[in-house]
Structure formats: C-alpha cells, structure tokens
Amino acid sequence: MNTIDEIKARIDIVDLVSETVQLRKAGKNYSGFCPFHPNSRTPAFVVFPGSGTWRCFGQCNEGGDIFRFVMKKEGWDFPTALKALAEKAGVKLEPPSPERQLEAEAHERLRVLLEEAVVFYRHQLLHTPAGKPALDYLHRRGLSDTTIETFGLGYAPQGWDAVLNYFSAKGYSPQDLADAGLVSEREGGGVYDRFRNRIMFPIRDGAGGMTGFGARVLNPEDVPKFLNSPQTDLFDKGRILYGLDQARKAIRASDQVVIVEGYLDVIALHQTGFQNTVSPMGTALTEDQLRLLKRFTSRIVLALDPDAAGEKATLRGLELTRQAMDHSTELAFNARGLLRHEARLQADVRVTTLPVGMDPDEVVLRDPAEWARIVEAARPVVVHVMETLAAGQNLDDPKVKSQVASQVLPLIEDIPNPVERDAYRQRLARFLKIDERSLLGPGTGHVHRLRPGRRSFGVRNAPEASQIPTGRASALPGSNADPAYGLESYCLRFLIHKPENLYLVNRALQEAGLTRLDIADFSHTDHQVIFKLVQQSVEQVEDDPQVFIQKQKDETVAEEIQALRAVLLPEVSDPQKLVEELMQKILLLRKQNVTESVNQLRFLQEEVQQQGDLRAQVYADLVMQYIQTRDRLDRALGASSKR
C-alpha cells in the first residue's frame, strides 16, 4: 500500500465531506447541495462511498476523490492537500526510498507471475487427462463450467517439478517462484512444487489482484485437506476475504454480507444467485477482514459450520466483530470536567443456524429457498451467544448463570439503542431465570461510565482517539474496490511506457467522434497528476518524453509511477495493436463512468419527482445526454473490437 492508498483507506469520504456539506443517504450513496456553487433547491452533489469519489451533476460538473475535494474547497494544489490529509489520517509522509520503489516493482512482477500461474493451472484442469478427475469432482459438487471459468479454478498436476519446469522455461528463477508461494524449499537445497494433485482456487484481493492460491486435495489420504499459499509479500490470509472481488457489488446492492467458511461454499452460493458471500478461508475472522467489509456494509451474517469448531470460530469472530465495527461518539461530562468517548456499535451482526451435518454449499444446492430462509432467520448476535454459551450447561447452577451473564452483558452494553439494551437485558434475565436487577449491580460487567484514564473495550480516551483510523473507508492494504480505478491504472501504465501513444489514441478518439483523452477522464487525483505529467512530456521538446518523466521529482506520485513502470507492456509485432488496446480501455473507462452517472441521475430524478420539483426535467435531460454518449461509446467499442 502506498502513501496515497493508506490515506484514502483511513479517511472516510462521507465523513470528510460531511464536515462542510449536509449529506443524506440516497440509495447506496449520499447526496446534498454542492458546496462549490449557489444552489438551495436541487441536491445535485453525490458522494460514492464505494469508490471513494464525489460528483456534482449541476453547475460544476466536476468530481474526484478526497484530495480533489479538499483542493477545490481550500484552493490548494495536490502536494498541499496531500500533506493536510496525511496529517489528518495520521500518516507520515516520507520520500519514496529506492528500497520502497524496488519493492513496488517486485510486487507487480509477482502479480504477473501469479496471473500466469492461474492460466497454467486452468489449462491443466480443462485440457489434460490428469485434470479430468478434478474436473469431474467439481461437477459432482454441482459446479457448472461457467462457474469454474468465472472463479478461475484449476488443477495442480501430480509431481514435484511441473510448475518449476514450466516457469523456468519462461525465464522465472526459483527465487521468483518461491517469492510467489508456488514452490517450497528443500531441506538439502533446491525447491519443489508446493501444490501437487490438488484443485486450485485463485485468491484475489478486493480489487481483483492476484495474491495467492488455496488448494484442496483429491486423494483423501493426502494431508492437509486444504493448503494455502505461504505468507508472502502479497498473501496475508488474515487480511484477505475469498470471493470479495466477485461479491462486492452484490454486497453493496443487498447491504448485507454473508460469511461462510469454505471456498466451495462461496462458489456454490454465487452460482445459485447468493453473490453477497465471502469466506475467511477456514480461519477465525480477523479485525482486518472485518474492517475491509465495513467499506461495503455493516450488516453481517456469520454462516459457519454447525459443529463444535464452527461454534468456537463463531465466538472468536464475534469479539473481533465488536472491535472492528464503526463507532459513533457520545460525549459525557463528569464532575472533573473531562470529556470522554462512549462507543456504541453501528453494525447488525447476526448468526445462522445450519442443518446438522450440512455445509452451506450442500444446503443451497439442495434447495436455494432453504438457504434464503436460513439467512433471513439469522439470530442477533446477543441471542446466539446467549444460547451457544448455555448449550449443554446446567442453567440451574449459579456459577453457570454468572459465567453466561459475564460474557453476554458486554455485548448488550455495546448496543447503542437504550430500548434494545433493556430488551436484551430482560431477555437474558428470563433466559437465566434471574431477577433483571441483578444484572445491573456491581460485579456483573455492566459499566455505565468509566473513571478518567481507565481503558475498556470500545472506549478510548480523547487524546488517543484521534490517532486511531475509523470510518467506512477502511480497507485492505493495496486494494481499491472502484472498477474505474483499475482501468485508470491500466491506461496510465500504457502511457508511462509509451507517452507518444497519447497523440495516436487522441487521433483515434476524434475519428470516432469522441473527445480527446483528458484529465477529467480520471477520477482519482493521483492519476490526474500522473496523466498531466504524461501530457507535459509530449508537449515539451527538450527531452525524450520518457526521459522527461524520469527527470521529474514529484515525490507525491513517485511510488505509483514506479509501480506502473514495473509491469512491462506485452510484446507485439505491430505497435498499432497496443494503441488499439489502449483505445479499448479508455472507452471502457468512459462507459463505466457514464453508466454510474446515468444510474445516479435516474435516482435523483425519481427523488425530486416525488417531491413535485419541476427541476426533475433537468435530470431527465442530463440522463438522455449521458445515454447518447454511452451509445457513441458502444459504437466505438464495437468498431474497435473488429479491427
């Protein structure tokens, strides 16, 4: 994660904009009156928390990320905004060292290698006799060929050197393969294939970038049953959720995520239409994983296996869930005049009860409607913990009553709504068959106020609170869930390697009746800075464009430029092919942005129509303009793909 990504991860764009703009929920986004031009009737300013961007559909017709918002509001340049937001986020700005630049380049090379490994394993599964048993197994588990392709499933052949020999022939060293987690080191020296005779599950981060693999045995006698990539620079199992790259849109659309344990659970649920599903890959949930999910929803359903291990994993996950969810701040004034924070959770965490002996994939393939009912009937976390802790216990034993109460009461205390807290307290009292007043007395763990200086779960003293990042934007390091972000990076990679292609692609765009590539095509400020640098490189005449870019000392984007340079362009005999590929990516980027604009404008149009606002026609006209633009993009894409 570079410095800019870290700042974006720590600062929630909704919280930042809300400091000066009154926002209200508008579907999955937020709307309000634009702060950059006079307007008090039509809320044409929209914030998109999923992508971390904003847009004014009114007079400004501008947009961007948190940096662009602060730059426009304060009249600052990018370095000044970067410094201010870094201080706000508690991120220390340091010039990129040669070591960090080399690290960024190495990470990009590893991702390219892992993508090639996906292709290798997929070929082994689909086009070799050795892979047929694995393919038959997946079919028996109810997976279709389309699903297998969508998730990039593969097969690691039997033997100790299939991967080693294949990638050595492609010029990769044993150290490259070890760094990617594809081989293991022998005690006596040398390396061997880590994955052998296993079904391969590519594991991607939230942005779709390859990080590693999960592997399941075919031979029941092989151990372990599941084997993941080792800890690498890219793969950290505690900070990744399997399936999130496929699930993020569905999670936003349903405003709910369902967490299951296994790879096949996720895949089967996606295949049957339940695409808001992810997996922590068989381990207890971590705080990093839950902070990642906060970017998409605060409604979480845990659907873990109903055996003893699953129940223990559920309880382990619950404590982390309580720690990771958003907190609102209440100010309390004590006799000594000190302000203290009292955190209350802003999350709805529920737990499913699965049929005994069945996993989620078995349930959903047997009856999708049954799975829907199970998720719908998920119990509030307090109820689940209450009943789980009491299962098999003698509730007539006073010590058991005390143990259950001491573990359930802290959860009740974290519920922000006082009515709900009282209701759960009453329910716990009835469940334990005790007087509710005993739950309010000393020694029960029920603390109304903390003495100054004392630390407890969910409560931070004021000086420390500002140092801890909170908000909906917290995310997995190095990931960006905005689809446009990846397309922007792809286009810039082409231009950094070959700046002169800017002229060629602009000519192609104009021939298609479209405008030239412009800084407005990029919604992220760091990308705008890099694109402006590319423009300057081809407009000046003193140096070769690439030499000009290398001479620039803009440390704010140096890390990103190095990362873009790290991945070479594909070797092609006809350079025009590269221009055509760049053209397609630009058209896709513009179409993505136009489609998002159309969807939001329609929402705003319906909203003002319900209020009887005559300005609904303004939105209707804008929708038509955007649709016409999208039609031109579709025609250009069709023509480009035929060349």
pLDDT at position 478: 37
Mean pLDDT of 389-396: 86
Hey, which residues does 422 pair with through a beta bridge?
A: none
The rounded distance, in Å, linking the Cα atoms of 577 and 583 is: 10
pLDDT at position 340: 24
Query: 208-237 burial, b if ≥16 CB within 10 A, otherwise e?
Result: ebbbbbbbbbbeeeeeeebbbbeebebbbb
Per-residue pLDDT for 458 more than 50? no
> Which has more pLDDT, 369 or 8?
369
pLDDT at position 417: 67
Instruction: Tally the C-alpha atoms within 13 A of residue 200's C-alpha that lie toward its C-beta.
Output: 31
In order, the DSSP letters of 176-210 are HHHHTTSEEE-TTSSEEES--SEEEEEEE-TTS-E
Per-residue pLDDT for 445 more than 90? no
Dihedral angle sign, alpha carbons of residues 128, 134, 139, 144: negative
> How distant, in Å, are the alpha carbons of 144, 274, 372, 437, 519 from that of 368?
16, 9, 6, 45, 47
Residue at 309: amino acid letter: A
Cα end-to-end distance, the chain, whole Å: 38
3-class DSSP assignment, residue 218: coil
pLDDT at position 335: 15
Nearest Cα to Cα of residue 258 among 138, 151, 364, 386: 364
pLDDT at position 144: 95
How many C-beta atoms surround the C-beta of residue 90 within 10 A?
Answer: 14
Per-residue pLDDT for 537 more than 80? yes
Instruction: Tally the C-alpha atoms within 13 A of residue 103's C-alpha that lie toward its C-beta.
Output: 11
pTM: 0.56
> Phi/psi at 185 (nearest 5 deg)?
-90, 135
Q: pLDDT tens digits for 240-286?
A: 999 998 898 788 778 899 999 889 999 999 999 999 999 988 666 77
Q: pLDDT tens digits for 467-505?
A: 223 333 333 333 344 667 878 888 998 899 888 889 888
Domains in the chain with CATH codes: 3-89 (3.90.580.10), 99-235 (3.90.980.10), 249-465 (3.40.1360.10), 483-642 (no CATH)
Q: pLDDT tens digits for 341-383?
A: 222 335 677 888 788 888 899 999 999 999 999 999 888 877 8
Model confidence at 330, pLDDT cuts 50, 70, 90, reads very low
Q: pLDDT tens digits for 160-211?
A: 999 999 999 999 999 999 999 999 999 888 999 999 999 999 999 887 889 9
The label of the residue with tokens 């703009």 reads 21
How many C-beta atoms surround the C-beta of residue 329 within 10 A?
Answer: 14
The rounded distance, in Å, linking the Cα atoms of 71 and 89 is: 16
pLDDT > 70: what percent of the chain?
Answer: 81
pLDDT > 90: what percent of the chain?
Answer: 30
Written as six digits, the tokens of 390 are 């009491």
CB–CB of 637/591 below 8 Å? yes
The rounded distance, in Å, linking the Cα atoms of 420 and 206 is: 34
Highest mean pLDDT among 109-118, 561-570, 577-586: 109-118
